[in-house]
């Protein structure tokens, strides 16, 4: 009996040991992590990346997904081929995408192009619909109105802006309006002629605001959506300091403030905005750098946080995102942070819808880095999440109601 009990004890012991070893082995084995496609759709957002193809390995427009809370990203994959799709706009219905083709010659004509794509409902791949002349060389910025009636384009090389109607099938009709800028400013190398660098619609979409680097002006146009025309407003522009070089422009969500980032002077100018008249009145100009000028630095992009408490701008050379707190009463800016973008030449950046994450596109290092945002202070914190894509320039997110 004693021998039998011993054998039973040994058997139980070996069984327990085997079970324990099995648990430990399972714990050591790598577990399969759920892919974003398997996560709830509301937890991940689809976005498209515009790039420079010339002088790089890029083939066009790329697609990836991002967690809007953690900043985790999937590896970008090619969605559609086009030459130099440096800036993108997505139709409000989410079924079409529009890209500038930042070139000087389209089919033998001295103009850049605007290319229309349909977006595949199943896989997000892009199918080319058609292309139209942009009305000037080197188109570098594009927008679409909230009902998908027109596309608006700024031509840097041509120093002009254009308005193109959108057909029912999402394709583009020829431009209904092209406005040529004229003049120059004080920098003989960069401001020898007009250089329209961005076109932004007012909150009520009655006007278009065009930052022209070559003229040191933010030009204002009245929009006739029915006729498809752009007419100089009254007043027709707001000026910044000579040699400032205004580049990108953004409105505050309160509808009473606006900001332009100046590429050449490495500053941001804050304006009071009168929605009724369209007038911009300067209230402050502030440096984007922490101290003395940085040799070779220039600014690029600017965005107000959706809650209106912070403003962000990108420094190329200093390779940082500058963060300002916005005074709730006056709209003036107070410097609170410079966050490294963990790469070289952050041409543009994007705040993920919801306001929890910022994505910085490092053009020269070919990376996109993510940062979480403190909603109260606006401060950025690096997530150490980073993906690679050649020469990234622009990120645009799919509307939540798309498809």
Is-contact 143 130, C-beta < 8 A? no
pLDDT for 108: 84
- For residue 164, what are its two tokens? 């193109």
- For residue 95, what are its two tokens? 């079924």
**Rounded Cα–Cα distance for residues 347 and 124 (Å):** 25
pLDDT for 401: 61
**What is the three-class DSSP state of 16?**
helix
Nearest Cα neighbor of 310 from 357, 265, 374 is: 374
Is-contact 114 106, C-beta < 8 A? no
Q: Which residues contact 397 (CB under 8 A, 6 or more apart)?
A: 45, 46, 47, 90, 350, 352, 353
pLDDT for 294: 87
**Rounded Cα–Cα distance for residues 394 and 52 (Å):** 10
pTM score over 0.95: no
CA dihedral for 112, 141, 225, 117, sign (positive or negative):
positive
pLDDT for 250: 98
CA dihedral for 386, 387, 390, 396, sign (positive or negative):
negative
**Rounded Cα–Cα distance for residues 178 and 162 (Å):** 4
- Distances 204 to 201, 230, 275, 400 between C-alpha atoms, Å: 8, 15, 8, 21
pLDDT for 403: 54
Q: Which residues contact 292 (CB under 8 A, 6 or more apart)?
A: none
Nearest Cα neighbor of 115 from 157, 86, 145, 92 is: 86
Per-residue pLDDT of the chain (403 residues; tens, 9 = 90+): 444 444 444 443 444 444 433 433 333 333 233 344 444 444 899 999 999 999 899 999 999 999 999 999 999 999 999 999 999 999 999 999 999 999 998 888 889 999 999 999 999 999 999 999 999 999 999 999 999 999 999 999 999 999 999 999 999 999 999 999 999 999 999 999 999 999 999 999 999 999 999 999 999 999 999 999 999 999 999 999 999 999 999 999 999 999 999 999 999 999 999 999 999 999 999 999 998 888 899 999 999 999 999 999 999 999 999 999 999 999 999 999 999 999 999 999 999 999 999 999 999 999 999 999 999 999 999 999 999 999 999 999 999 765 5
- For residue 107, what are its two tokens? 């089919």
**Rounded Cα–Cα distance for residues 319 and 323 (Å):** 13
Is-contact 305 312, C-beta < 8 A? yes
**Rounded Cα–Cα distance for residues 346 and 319 (Å):** 6
């Amino acid at each position: 009996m004693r021998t039998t009990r011993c054998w039973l004890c040994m058997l139980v012991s070996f069984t327990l040991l085997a079970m324990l070893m099995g648990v430990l082995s399972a714990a050591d084995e790598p577990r399969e992590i759920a892919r974003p496609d398997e996560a709830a759709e509301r937890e991940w957002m689809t976005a498209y990346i515009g790039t420079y193809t010339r002088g790089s390995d890029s083939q066009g427009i790329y697609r990836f997904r991002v967690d809007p809370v953690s900043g985790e990203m999937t590896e970008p994959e090619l969605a559609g081929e086009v030459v130099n799709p440096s800036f993108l706009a997505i139709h409000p219905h989410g079924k079409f995408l529009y890209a500038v083709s930042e070139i000087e010659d389209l089919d033998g004509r001295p103009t850049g192009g605007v290319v229309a794509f349909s977006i595949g409902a199943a896989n997000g791949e892009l199918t080319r619909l058609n292309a139209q002349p942009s009305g000037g060389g080197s188109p570098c910025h594009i927008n679409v109105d909230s009902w998908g009636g027109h596309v608006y384009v700024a031509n840097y090389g041509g120093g002009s802006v254009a308005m193109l109607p959108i057909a029912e099938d999402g394709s583009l009709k020829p431009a209904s309006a092209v406005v040529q800028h004229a003049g120059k400013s004080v920098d003989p190398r960069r401001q020898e002629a007009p250089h329209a660098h961005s076109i932004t619609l007012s909150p009520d979409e009655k006007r278009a605001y065009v930052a022209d680097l070559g003229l040191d002006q933010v030009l204002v146009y009245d929009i006739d959506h029915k006729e498809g025309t752009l007419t100089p407003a009254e007043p027709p522009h707001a000026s910044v300091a000579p040699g400032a070089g205004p580049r990108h422009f953004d409105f505050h969500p309160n509808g009473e403030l606006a900001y332009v980032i100046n590429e050449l002077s490495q500053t941001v100018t804050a304006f009071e905005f009168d929605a009724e008249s369209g007038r911009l009145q300067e209230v402050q100009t502030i440096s984007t750098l922490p101290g003395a000028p940085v040799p070779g630095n220039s600014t690029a992009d600017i965005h107000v946080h959706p809650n209106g408490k912070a403003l962000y701008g990108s420094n190329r050379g200093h390779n940082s995102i500058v963060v300002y707190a916005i005074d709730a009463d006056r709209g003036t800016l107070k410097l609170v942070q410079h966050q490294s973008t963990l790469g070289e030449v952050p041409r543009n950046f994007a705040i993920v819808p919801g306001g929890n994450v910022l994505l910085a596109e490092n053009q020269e290092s070919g990376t996109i880095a993510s940062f979480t945002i403190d909603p109260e202070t606006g401060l950025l914190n690096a997530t150490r999440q980073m993906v690679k894509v050649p020469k990234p320039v622009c990120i645009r997110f799919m509307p939540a109601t798309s498809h």
